[in-house]
Amino acid sequence: MKQRILGQAAVPISEVGLGCMGMSEFYGPSDDQQSLATLNRALELGVNFFDSADTYGLGHNETLLGQFLKQGGAARRRRVVVATKFGIVREAGKYERRIDNSPAYVRAACEASLQRLGVDEIDLYYCHRRNPDVPIEDTVGAMADLVHAGKVKQIGLSEVSIATLRRACTVHPVAAVQSEYSLWSREPENGLLEACAELGATFVAYSPLGRAFLTGTVRSDTLAENDFRKFNPRFQGDAEVANRALVESLHQLAEVRGVTNAQLALAWLLNKHPHVVPIPGTRQVRYLEQNVAASAITLTSDELATLDELFLPERVIGTRYPEAGMVGVERG
């Protein structure tokens, strides 16, 4: 597994990470033993960058990741780069959320995450979503205090605007910006990717496979009732039909290269930007192994241009979240 650099501390991380959210909720039923097997296999394959958040499963995801770390002892902890997040506050069984960025909440959330993860220091701690009522300087100031206290190694921001990122960097270096970025979600190309490169922030691309839609293996009528994608506008009605046509074209290109849809979509990200690290999520070892193999794929400039053209933003139908999911997401 090739590596890239995380933030100003120049921490080596695998250029394909692992998003752990689906191991706890949102994508139908999960099994902890299956998830632990996938985490173990990821480490065997050279994946050392694991992404969690306190809101995933209302703490379950961090506890699961903590169990994985504990199984391997101190040696495993030294190998693994743990990223987690604070800021989204939800009630059990509900998708709706409120956003808390207050300094007091930052401190309390960090302590709770440290306990669930079973670690003394979080390698990368993100503000998960932005509450505009709290100055970003106050939030980042509290995060910086955690760094100075030795509880956090580096800090990150998720789904923020360029202006917010620049303001944050005046308080403390931002090691990473995490936002949705994939063939069918191209918003970071509005200048955010360039700003990250300028400021020395790694760009972490979540949902790089379009919540598995780009793989061509997911249909809305086969999703579990508790799978939030059933309520995602891109998975519904005429939007799903139109978007599926794009995925079929992607499949044709993948077949020419002898790779899977997922591998081609991940290779597109890796070949376009040296400071982008995708974190595809999966609970299954076979998909993990396929995703990791994308690291070895080199695309030509013509292939990149063809994929760019196929997934022009105006060709993708539907917003990337239902309305409730856009709370705390900044534009521009």
Which residues are annotated as catalytic? 56
- HSE of 249 in the Cβ direction (CA atoms, 13 Å)? 15
Instruction: Kindly report the backbone phi and psi dihedral angles of residue 266, in degrees, each rounded to the nearest multiple of 5, phi listed first.
Output: -70, -40
Please give the C-alpha separations between residue 143 and each of 58, 84, 136, 293, in angstroms, as whole numbers: 21, 13, 10, 35
Q: How far apart are CA 159 and CA 126, in angstroms?
A: 10
DSSP for 50-62, please give it.
Answer: EE--TTGGGGHHH
Please give the C-alpha separations between residue 104 and each of 77, 111, 152, 327, in angstroms, as whole numbers: 28, 11, 16, 21
- The residue type at 59: G
Strand segments (E) across 181-235: 202-206
What are the structure tokens assigned to 247, written together?
Answer: 């995925």
What is the 3-state composition of the chain as percent helix, strand, coil, each rounded to the nearest 5?
50, 15, 35
